[in-house]
Amino acid sequence: MTHPLAPKPNPCAQTLFLLVGEPQALAEPLRVLNGLAQQLASCRLAQLLHSWREQRPEAVLIQAPAEDAADAWQGLLDALRHLRELAAAEPLVLLLGQVTTARAEAFIQAGGDDLLPDAEEASLFRLRLSHHCSCLQRRQELVGYRALVAREEAVAQTVLASVVRDDLQQELSNLRWRLSPRALYNGDLILAAKSPMGKIYLLLGSFPGYGLAASIGVLPVAEIFYTMTAKGFGLVDILLEINQRLKALLPSEGFFAASLLEIDLEQGGGAIWNGGLSCMLLQRADGAAQRLGSQHTPLAILDNAQLGRGLEPFTLQQGDHLLLATGGRGQQPSEALPWPIALDGLAACLGPDLEQTLEQVSQHLRQRLGRDEISLLVLRMGARLARKPAGEREILRGGGSSTCWHYDILLDPDTLRNLDPRPMLTQLLVEVQGLQDHREQLYTLVAELFSNALEHGVLRLDSGLKSSPEGFAEYYQEREQRLEQVQQGFVRFSLDHQPSSDGGILSMEVEDSGPGFDYQNKGQGSLALDGLSGRGIGLIRKMAEDVVYFSPGNRVKITYPWTRNPGQAKG
């Protein structure tokens, strides 16, 4: 830190001066400047433009012509106008000497910056010139800062454009979002992706700060979100990985206010984790409204062991609207927005046309909040989507050479609580055997087999609870409670692969510690695929070649043949 009594640096020392005028008239200014400036050049008025192009001085000092030299004065004004056409605001142009008021006004109007006294008044001349050099330095610093900001904005724009995918918005007519026009500056982020099971994963969040500083966390968040969603990881796994990465990456004062959602359009339900965002509204078709407030601390503040993991379930019925919004700048507590007031009257803005809904909601919030840094996401629930039967799905070609292998895994209660084996097992099948194009089908099989074993075997849940949207939410609340309390039980996977002439045969055997079920009556039917419950067995039978249950119904083996000829495979 500079001492307040320390000598101040000479602001003119690093400035390149160009003195313009006749040599005899410049003698005194050159003498005064020799003790003040280190970089000096001079030329006649006729050479001004040429000298500027050659030397690019920061300051041009023009000696005023004699009062009766009208032609010289007009030549000075013409040269100054041409200089401004070439150099715009640069360089600093000063007039030396005493002139009439009319000529002073003409000089300023032609593009001059100021008039300096005669160089004979050395003290005043130095003082005024030093002041102008200080201003010039600050202007140059500002130009450099603006250039830096422009580069940062370009980087931030590239980062934002590379991570915000629009494919899901194109695929689903009932999902629309709009990033704030200032998202580049205020750290807003919206991500959307579909899991292998067909569920919609959404992330809406905001980093504090502006520009590049606010976009530092965008890349890792997007990478984790898209990669883990594609592999089938659950919402909690994704948010814990994002939190851990951001905690290590961001400075101590950094954070990420965010909401993560999982939505099942087939069953009409979902769950939300909200850490720091205030505007989450579930507007029912019948007019009732439910606010989904922040339940947790924003990400990157707490360690994973301290971070709240609870998900708030909700149901969606036809005509319901789910609205998420952020006011930018990471929702700084000091800039708390009156969301309850802003949400009043919002129901009138919602309708079946989501583009129109986005526009009307945006206008409503801008008026109520008095700011335009608002990012929005709107989902409208239509009729429940039926899962496409497996026989109608495109059968994709497997890759890699067919090999013989076997794999066993046993999951105890602690492992079941802390590990979701579905993505891991699917990834194992994809990487070991090269079945990348069968990822969706394999994940569905693994997920259904595991869910049945865990929920109905180890946890002994009744799937009848899921017969209604309200029961669906209650079912998953009960699932979380029992999973936290269970002390005994297991789920065992046994995977086996045998090569065939044009592909291979994958066998999966799953056993749980439960009492089993009446598989001879319930397990043999091809159950409907469009209900809220009871779809698992029917779905497995649609996708697998053979499904065999073993007494007492707590062990099942399926066979999934694949071939390099898509027309010959089932699945």
CATH number at residue 302: 3.60.40.10
Among residues 122, 142, 107, 135, the alpha carbon closest in space to that of 15 is found at 135
Q: Rounded to whole angstroms, how far apart are CA atoms 44 and 56?
A: 16
421 domain residue, yes or no: yes
Q: Rounded to whole angstroms, how far apart are CA atoms 453 and 441?
A: 18
Among residues 297, 358, 288, the alpha carbon closest in space to that of 323 is found at 358
The pLDDT score that the predictor gives to residue 341 is: 63
Over range 305-329, report the average pLDDT: 84
123: phi then psi, degrees, rounded to nearest 5: -65, -50
Q: Are residues 228 and 375 in the same domain?
A: yes
Query: How many domains are there within the chain?
Result: 3
Q: Are residues 211 and 278 in the same domain?
A: yes
CATH number at residue 516: 3.30.565.10
The pLDDT score that the predictor gives to residue 531 is: 45
Q: Are residues 248 and 135 in the same domain?
A: no
The better pLDDT of the pair 153, 477 is held by: 477
Show the tokens assigned to 315.
């149901």
Q: Of 190-199, 384-393, 444-453, 518-527, give the lowest mean pLDDT range.
A: 384-393
- Coil, strand or helix: which one is 219? helix
The pLDDT score that the predictor gives to residue 201 is: 93
Q: Rounded to whole angstroms, how far apart are CA atoms 228 and 238?
A: 6
- Coil, strand or helix: which one is 474? helix
The pLDDT score that the predictor gives to residue 335 is: 45
The better pLDDT of the pair 181, 326 is held by: 326
Q: Are residues 364 and 290 in the same domain?
A: yes
* CA distances for 348 relative to 289, 358, 374, 551, angstroms: 12, 12, 19, 57
209 domain residue, yes or no: yes
The better pLDDT of the pair 109, 214 is held by: 109
How many percent of the chain have pLDDT more than 90? 22
Among residues 569, 511, 519, the alpha carbon closest in space to that of 393 is found at 569
117 domain residue, yes or no: yes
Mean pLDDT of all residues in the chain? 80
429 domain residue, yes or no: yes
CATH number at residue 25: 3.40.50.2300
The pLDDT score that the predictor gives to residue 397 is: 33
148 domain residue, yes or no: no
Which of 142, 177, 204 represents a domain boundary (last residue)? 142
pLDDT digits (tens, 9 = 90+) for 327-386: 655 444 434 455 566 667 777 888 888 888 888 888 887 777 766 667 888 888 875 544
The pLDDT score that the predictor gives to residue 11 is: 65
DSSP string, 397-437: PP-S----EEEEEEE-HHHHHH--HHHHHHHHHHHHH--GG
Among residues 444, 350, 437, 353, the alpha carbon closest in space to that of 396 is found at 437
* H-only helix segments in 250-394: 339-343, 354-369
Q: How confident is the model at residue 185 (pLDDT cuts 50, 70, 90)?
A: low
Domain that holds residue 287: 163-331+338-381
The pLDDT score that the predictor gives to residue 401 is: 57
Q: Are residues 138 and 173 in the same domain?
A: no
Q: Are residues 479 and 447 in the same domain?
A: yes
386 domain residue, yes or no: no
Q: Are residues 349 and 293 in the same domain?
A: yes
Q: Are residues 322 and 422 in the same domain?
A: no
3 domain residue, yes or no: no
The better pLDDT of the pair 39, 458 is held by: 458
Q: Are residues 376 and 230 in the same domain?
A: yes
Contacts of 447 (CB under 8 A, 6+ apart): 196, 197, 232, 422
Q: Are residues 433 and 488 in the same domain?
A: yes
The pLDDT score that the predictor gives to residue 7 is: 46
Q: Are residues 119 and 195 in the same domain?
A: no
54 domain residue, yes or no: yes
Q: Are residues 212 and 274 in the same domain?
A: yes
Over range 128-139, report the average pLDDT: 82
pLDDT digits (tens, 9 = 90+) for 233-285: 888 889 999 999 999 988 888 899 999 999 988 778 888 999 988 777 888 88
Show the tokens assigned to 185.
């500056």
Query: What are residue 40's DSSP bridge partners?
Result: 17
The pLDDT score that the predictor gives to residue 333 is: 40
Helix (H) or strand (E) holding 78: helix 70-87
The pLDDT score that the predictor gives to residue 389 is: 40
